[in-house]
Each structure stands twice: as C-alpha cells, then as structure tokens.
Structure 1
Amino acid sequence: MSENRQPGPAGRPPTVGDVLALPVLAGGDPRVVAGEEHLDRPVRWVHITELTDPASFLKGGELVLTTGMPLPDDWAGVRRYVDELAAVGAAALVMELVRRYHRPPDALVRACRARGLPLVTLARDVNFLEVTQVVHTLILGHQADAMRRTQRVHEAFTALTLRGAGPEEVLRAAAEMSGRTVVLENLVHRALACEPSGTTAQAALTDWERRSRTTPATDRPGVSGPEGWLAAPVEYQGERWGRVVMLPRALPAALPGRDFGPEDVTVLERTAMALTIARLTRPTPWERTAHRNALRDLVEQRHRSPADARARVAALGLPAEHVRLVAVLADLPPERDGEATEFRLSEELTATGVPALVGLLSPGRLGVLLALRPARPWREAVERVARAALDAAPGARVSVGAPAGDLADVARSFREAARVAEATEPGRPLPAGRSFHERADIGLRRLLYALRDDPRVQDYAERRLGPVLDHDARHGTDLVATLRGYLDAAGNKTVAARSAGLSRETVYQRLRTIERLLGGDLESGEQRTELHAALHAVDALRAPPVAPPPIGTGPGTDEFSPGPRS
C-alpha cells in the first residue's frame, strides 16, 4: 500500500486534486464533472455515506464517498442534498457509477455547479474502505509532519531571539522557512528590510507605499488588501510600531489569501514576536540602521541589479528617478558621538524637507545621499548639510562628490567624495564661502597629501631632498627652510632673503651648498618644479597621521546586519 501514500506538497494538507491522483482512486477512472476550479480544497477527512442527509454528520472538509443509492429522485431533493453538503463545507462529492447510475444525473451536475461543489464520478468499482484507510493515513501523517515543522519553527525563532538576532536575520529565517518574500515596514509605510524569496526586491518593493496603504492594518496575523498580503503587527513598548508582511507567491487572481496555510501564519506570528523582542532590546532606531545598510549597499554596489537598488531606496522614501543625487561624506573628530551626529543631521534634513539617506558608513564617517530636483543648485543644498554637520560635530571635515544622474553612479560619487576627504588634512582651512571640500579644491599639495602613503611618493621625496634633510639633521642647519623660501619666491634670491630676514650673501651661500648636495642647478625651472613638488611631499609625510575608516566598514553594532547579497 506504500504506493498510495504519496503526500501533496510539503507544508499543506492534501487537496481534492491530490487525493484523486492517488492510485487507490485513480484506478476507478475518476472524472470531474463539476467544480473543477475548486480541486485545491484541502481534505480534512473521508466520509462514506448512503444517507439522504449526510450533512448532519459532517463538520467540513470531508471527501464524501457514495454509490448514489440514497440520492433523491426529484430535483428539489437533489438540490437540497447538494445545498446541505455545500453549506457544511464538504470538500467534494465522489459518486460511483456502477450500481444505481451509469452516468451522473443532470440535476446533480447542475446543483453542484451552482454551489461550486466538486463532483467526481468513478466509472469502475473502488473499495471505499481502502480509500478511507489510505487518505486517513495520509492526513494523519501530514498532521504529524505539520506538528514537527511547527516545533522546528518555534525552536528556530527561540534560538534567534536568545542569540539577539537583528531584523534582517529574522526576516531571512522567515523567508527560508516559508519560501515567501517577507518585508518589515514602519507606521509610515517605509520598507526598512526586505528578504526576497523566489522573486526580486524590485518586484516586491516597487510602488511599495501606495500598495501598503491599500492594505489595512490588522490587530493579529491575517490576510488583507487587494493583493492578499499576510501581515502581523510589530510592537514597541506596548504600542504598534509597524508590521511584518508575507507576500503571496502568485498574483491574487481570484481568492486572495488562499495561498497561505496554517504554517505560514505560524512563521509570521513567530517572526512578529521575535521582531517585537528585538525592537525592545536594541537602542538604535531601525530607520537609522535601514539607512546605513541602504547606503553601504549603494557604496559597495551589493545590489542584485540597478532596478533592485531603485526599488529599495524608493521604499525607504528616497526618490530615485528624475533627481540629481549628491554624495556627501562627513569625517567626524574622534571625540564626537557618531550616532548622535547621525540622528541630529537626519532630523535637520527631515525638518527642511530635503529627501536624503543619512547613515554611519563606519564609526567615524557619516554618509549622506541627497536626492535633489535637477533644477535646484546642488551646492546650496550641500552647504546646508555641511553647516548642519559642523554644528553637530565641530571640527568635522565635509567632502562632496560630483552629482550623479542615476542611482547606478552613486558609488562613483561616494568614491570621489572619499578621494576628496583623503586629500584634506586635519585643520585645513575651508574654501572661501563654503563649509565643504570638493574635487576642484585638490591641487598639487593636497594630491601629494592623499598619496603620502604611496612608497613611490616617499621614494621621490627622499631622492630629491634626502641629502639636504640629512645635512640639516647632522649639522643643525636650516637649508630646507632656505630652499622653501627661494622656491616660494619663484627663484628671486632678493625676495627670498628679505622674507627670511637674512642677508643676500647668506642666502647665496646656502643655495650653493644645496646645489652641491643635490648635484643640480637651482636656476633650472624644471629642477625648481621638481624640488617644489618634493617639498610638498615632505610636508605631507610630516603631517599628523589620519586614518579615516573605509566607507564600507560598519561600526559593529548594527541592528540590520547587511550579510552577503546574492
């Protein structure tokens, strides 16, 4: 009999269609003559009857087996017979065409079609007791499997909670268990985290706010809205904070919600509970960490596709099309609280109505992505951001990359801002009329400062100026200062002597010593240029060490761990 024990898909009870495919019934040559569209009804039990009123013994979900012997002869009796089966929720009526009937009565077919009750005829004799035994074994086996799966769900979410898992890890577990896309949103319908399953973030999140607003909130896990979302509330300190949503696998063609089973509800309930506990135990608002992860994904280009990236940032409330996108970095002084600065800057931008993502990219580096109307002067908006950052963290260095016309170019804009930051030594005065630095500010001196750790720059400085530096170190002289004054005066010895407060003869003597040590001619414009560059390199090498963290490195306390992106 093992050949008859073929369950339906894991995670749901057998349906009418599953049962009809079992060999024990397939041998009777079953034919569906009514209610074909309802073969997905779950079968809770099998009931053999030869009564004229079998519905009084049913509770719903039964597969009713009959030889047709008790079927009334009159049309009204047949209709009453079918109405009672449909009203009690019978899964289907299976009638054997061997003894009383050899074709299904027209009245029975019409009544079943009218009530949407599947009617299945068997052309050959079937052992109903064997059908009952096989299907009941299948149902009981499914129930035992369901209990074991439910236990595994509870154990998995308990382990996540005890481990202090963040929202993305909880959502990832829910998506893996259910095989469905799971989304976490707050009260203003911002999708803070999305774990796609069998689809893309673009398909799940496109036009998210509008779709979410058409899906009413529920006090407990339930299906609602035109798309048939399964949703559960997430609370914080006894108040509703947001909700977690499980999306159906297919478009809701006819019956939204029929796509979900009891195990999906269990998974979503435990997901909501785990998120509620995580929200209580984590101090950082999840909106902040959602912004951080969105920015890091853009900077490191971890999205599956540009369309996914657009859908994710749009679901966070940032326009991604028909805008000018500007990347801003603020490197904070070591003593400043990065999270406090992040919060204050975010509040400032929200209050002024500037759409932006604001988040710590690393412990000492704050990233901002502005979405501006193409006609709006972007430097004006960046100046506002820079002033707000300097007010929140005096001593911060604000750098900006060139505006990007598309989200795909944002990573380039952030890289450019990072290069500007690398070329800006601490304490460098701000450009006139500005509170930020940009690429146009980088001259030779700042370029060499940015390249100061490159061995080739170090080797060049040593080759060109090493003998003079060594002489000053051994003899206590100050030839480098004399050379600097001479080069700053564009080779005018008189101006150099006046600036240094020395006699011309002293300057001449020192310059001859420098020429002897370097084996060169200081009257050569090319050599003066080379020495000037070498002096800038020496200045850069002597500058205080600054090591801003990489823009893709996190502070280690994120609520949403970015994790690998497939």
Structure 2
Amino acid sequence: MGLVADHKPERGGLTVEELVRFPQLRLRVLAGESGLSRSVSWAHVSELADPTPWLLGAELIMTTGMAIPQQAAAQGAYLRRLDDAGVSALALSEQLHVPPLHQEFFATAEARGMPVLEVPLAVPFIAIAQEVAAAVQEDPRQRLGAQLQVFGALRWMASEDLDTATLFRRLERLSGYQVYLCTPQGRPLLPGVPVPPDPAVLPASPDAPPTIPGGFALPVPAPGGPAGFLVAFEREGARPAGLAVVQHIATVAALRLAMARHEHEAQRREGAETLAEMLQDVLDPSAVRRRLRRLGLPADPDDERGMLLLLVVRQARDDTLDRALAEHPRLILRRRDDLYVLAADSPAVREALSGLPGAATGASRPFPPGASLKVPQREAAWAAARATESGQGFVPYGDDTAGRWLPDDPAVLGGLVDHVLGEVLRYDAGHDTRLLDSVRTWMERDRRLDDAAKALHVHHNTLSYRLRRFAELTGRDLTASADFAEVWLAIRAARQIGVID
C-alpha cells in the first residue's frame, strides 16, 4: 500500500485553492477537494505514465490525457504514484485525449486528498505555468537566503566548534525541514540526530529518486558507498528551502561523519597505546590517571563511575566488539588472537560482552584507576581460558579456583609442568596421541566419564584406557585427592605458559 503524502501549505506560498480562484484560468475541481490547501511550487507538463523520477515535490502536473491509462486499476495506480511523489495536483485538459475516468480514479483522488482539476481547452498550459511562476516569485529569494546560510555550516564547524546536535538543530531552523539520519539498517548514524520515525521512508537503493511524501531522502556519501541516509520532512509553518539545501545538509552530514570516524580512530590508537603501556607496567599511576581521564574512563579512586575492569576477549572481531561497546568508553588492544579491553565495571558492560556471538570473554576482578594491571591481566587471562574450555560466553575471575594460586614466574610454572606432565607430553608428541587432552577434558567435566567421552568423540572404554595410561606415565593416582590437585594445577600452568592450547 502506498504512503499518503503529507502536503502542507507553505507560509506566503501559492496553494491549489488560490490557483483555482484565478478567474482568468477558469479551472474546475473534479475531485480531491480536501487537498486544495496543498502548496504549489511549479507547474509542469508531462505525458509520461510515470514522471515521478524527475519530480521534486509540490508540482502541478498538467496533461492532455495521453498519460492517463485506460483501465480503472491503472488509473488509480497512476494517481497514487503522483501523490506518493508529493505532486500537489493533477490538471487535465478538457476535450483532448483524456480517456473515460473510472470510479476508482475518483475514489483514489478523494481518499488521498489529491486535487484533480479540469483545464478549459481555450486556456493554454503556458498561461497556468506563468501564473504559478509569478505567484511564487518571492520564494526563490527566500530559498537563496536559506541556501547561503546553510552553506555557511562548514564555517560554523570550523570557527564555533558546534557539537553535532547543535549543528543540525541550526540547519533545521534555516532549511525549514525536520532532519533525520540513520544507517541503511535504520540505526543511529550520528550522535544527537534522531533516526526517521518510520523506516519505510528509506529508499530501496542510493540511486532512488530523492522525493518522498512530505520531503526528501538522500544518501550520505562515504568511501566505499553510502554510510546511510538523510531524511528531511517539511516542518509545520516553515518555508522549506528545497532540494539543493537538503543535498548540502547531506554533504555536511558526510563531513561530520568523516570527522567523527577520524576522531574515533585517533582515540582508538591512543587507547591501544595506553593499554599496551599499562599492561607492560611502564606508566606511573598519575600518568595512567591523566590518560584515562582524557579517554573518558574513571580516573580517580573516588570517581562516581566506579572501578575498572580488564577483559580478555577471544574469537571475536574488532568491529563486532566495537559495536557491542559503542555506548561505553573503553581501551582496546589486540594481541595476536586476543582482544584486551579496559572499561568501567558496570552491568551494562558485562551484559554487552556476554552477548558477543561465538566469543569467549574473561573478566578480572574490579580494581581502582591507577592500579597495576599485573594481577588483573592474569585474572582475565585465566577467566578467558575457562570460558573457552567450558563454552561459556562470559566468565568473571573467581570461577577458576585453582589457577589463582599459581606463581607468576614462568620458570617455576615450567618446572611444575615438566615434573608432573613431562612424560605424557613427550609420549603424546612421539606417538601422536591425546592422553593429556583426554585427562583435561575429563577433569573439566567433573570426572563424568560419559560426558567427557562424548566431548572427545570416543567410546567411554577408550577414555578409560587413556586415563589409566596417563596414570602409568605420570605416576599419579587420579582417584587420590593430592595427586588429582597436583595434576590439575600442572594443567593450568601448562595452559598459562602456552605449552597447551
């Protein structure tokens, strides 16, 4: 079903009713009398079945009748196309090529409030066009003034440092339009500028005609293709400045978007450098707090925004993580396959990271701004490993009750691994077996033999044999609490120093 155009008379402009009252034109209203208050900006002759790709809205379309279809349904569709494009009225020449008009034609005109006028044969179309041009001659001066002021938007951006919301409110006042911005999917494009209330007005493609009922919809250009769309509706009581001004507003939106993306990328690079230095523990607490403050994160122990959280995110793309945390200040650093994130601790941040599709996220305990990241880094890495192994999307530190007791020294961890697991590691490497992986899977599933065998895709008898062989090689009895704990800590140490995945 088509959209009914929301035509509003322009203050000081020409309406269809005023045009009908011109005695010299002798126009007669055939249908759509409820739409006589529509504004008329131009009069144009068209004999095309669909002239809408070449219209801007508020035109009076004049035809000898050659464009009118013969069939009833086609006549109704023709009127709806014109109305959806914002045409003010349709004028038909009397006694020329107008086919018999069906009831559906008149019903559509009445339902849409689309005025249909009859032009006497003695009145040439050029006479109507001249009267319209003369009546609206003041409008070009008003539009030129609006254009010159809107074109000054680039100067405002440079000299006044306006934020996005203030900039676009000023553009709305000058242009006479209510402005909306959104991505092709209907999401916000720039902060402070609302999305269109009805996504149905968005064009099907960037090459679609710009005219929509009550205004215009234009692509916002960006490298690689449009970043989204600008939708501009005529405001009640305003004098819309026309398509040229709306096109310039779309250009301003594109420039503002490019500036925002540049600022975001610069801030992201600074954040990554800061987080890298914090992880290396080379910054003093005062320098850390200064940088955190500049990057929008809690910077003081008594900051009302609370504590910080360090997270390790695995199996996630940078852009996916950026979208999930779009509303939250954060520092992000990629280290090989892991993404390290520093953010203010909040339920919203935890929820956003819990919902990352296919990702495994580990979180440290909350800590105050300026604190060393040595301990939070270990905590987040352990929690991420636990999330990966268990298949959970988000694991806060504390679920891994064994790993917290391991020392920091890689040499000590390596000694523990070699002492407990060395024989098994050498046996697996030499015989292409999976004894260690089988024992780890069995332990992670709380020694449930059938569950572990299913996860390993082997028969439970095969897994039982592997457990016995592991015990023989290590000399550890997995049914004894002390031996079980030692093996579990050794497996955690092997994971920590990268001996196993």
- TM-score, L = length of structure 2: 0.38
Q: What is the TM-score with the length of structure 1 in the denominator?
A: 0.35
Q: Which structure has the greater CA radius of gyration?
A: 1
